[in-house]
Amino acid sequence: MKIQRMIARFLCLLIFLLAAHLAEAQEIVLTGVNKGEDVYVKNPYIISKAGFCVQSILINGKKSKVNVNLTAIRLNLDEVELYSPVHIQVIHADSCQPRIVNPEAVLYYSSFKFDSLVMRDSVLHWYTKGDRKEGKFVIEKLKNDYWDEVQMVRPKGRFNGATYAYIPKLADGGNKFRIRYELPDGRYLYSEEIEYYHYPIGVTFSPKVVTNMMYFSREARYEIMNSSGEIILQGTAKEIPLRRLEPGDYSINLEGELDSFVKK
């Protein structure tokens, strides 16, 4: 009897832990067709739980043997017959958000694509082909390591191509955006990510005659060119060592503003 009571208590505890685990779990679902391409999942590491976000992945209801203890998971669909339906469920903890990097690998609409995504004069522009009026564009901005939805734009529904523009609210420094094109049935496709550095106050540098170091009034993106116009140094910094630079005249591009200096 004692052994039976111990077994019963163990089973109750197991059921309780399993129920708690399922209550905390969430899922991302992707449905489409196996086109012979791998699916990649970005899997954040949760420091507070000392583990990865993704708990398991199911393909057509069957648990995949893929290793989920990686920051980038490569999901092979070889067990699914080519050009047959595929249903992917990414089970993850509720305190994090994994991301399917290339959902287009299984999505069965092929007419839509993002041609480009650019920032010009603080305006976000994107160019598409094959969008449909019943869909929508959702503009997302990265904030505190999470993507926030900041604007929704209706497509023009022009198969041969369309252009769009959005004026975002920019924070000082780096601003990162992406766009999700979504159809009413939940299928979606992401644009590439774009980062834009915004500084309302211009940047200056000193000294004009450099011996060892050059200093900027704030952190800035720069390009240094020699007398032939070749870029020899570039990056983002607040100060840069130039003691190894050969003496002579140089040009510097500071976030689009061109100037010159002399290296002694």
Amino acid at 4: Q
> Is the pLDDT higher at 171 or at 82?
171
Which run of H or of E encompasses 40?
strand 39-42
The Cα 151–Cα 48 span in angstroms is 32
Tokens 């920051």 correspond to what residue?
A: 71
The Cα 235–Cα 131 span in angstroms is 37
- DSSP letter assigned to residue 157: -
Amino acid at 135: G
pLDDT digits (tens, 9 = 90+) for 17-41: 444 444 457 888 888 878 889 999 9
Q: Where are the alpha helices (DSSP H) in the chain?
A: 2-24
> Is the pLDDT higher at 83 or at 258?
258
> Could you tell me the two tokens for 74?
């490569």
Least confident among 8-12, 120-124, 151-155, 168-172: 8-12
pLDDT digits (tens, 9 = 90+) for 7-17: 455 444 444 44
The Cα 251–Cα 231 span in angstroms is 9
pLDDT surpasses 90 at 232: yes
Provide the pLDDT confidence category of residue 171 given band limits of 50, 70 and 90.
Answer: confident
3 state DSSP class of 81: coil
**What are the residues whose beta carbons fall under 8 Å from the beta carbon of 88, sequence distance 6 or more?**
29, 30, 31, 39, 57, 58, 59, 75, 100, 106
Beta bridge partners of 47: none
Task: Look over the chain and give the mean of its residue pLDDT values, rounded to a whole number.
Answer: 85
Check: CB of residue 196 under 8 Å from CB of residue 170: yes
Check: CB of residue 253 under 8 Å from CB of residue 222: yes
3 state DSSP class of 242: coil
Provide the pLDDT confidence category of residue 43 given band limits of 50, 70 and 90.
Answer: very high
pLDDT digits (tens, 9 = 90+) for 196-222: 988 777 889 999 999 999 999 988 889
Q: Which domains does the chain carry?
A: 27-105 (no CATH), 113-198 (2.60.40.10), 205-263 (2.60.40.10)
> Is the pLDDT higher at 15 or at 190?
190
pLDDT digits (tens, 9 = 90+) for 68-80: 999 999 999 988 8
Judging by DSSP bridges, how do beta strands 146-153 and 136-143 pair with one another? antiparallel
Residue 140 pLDDT? 95
CB atoms within 10 A of CB 30: 20
Residues 149-156 have a mean pLDDT of 94
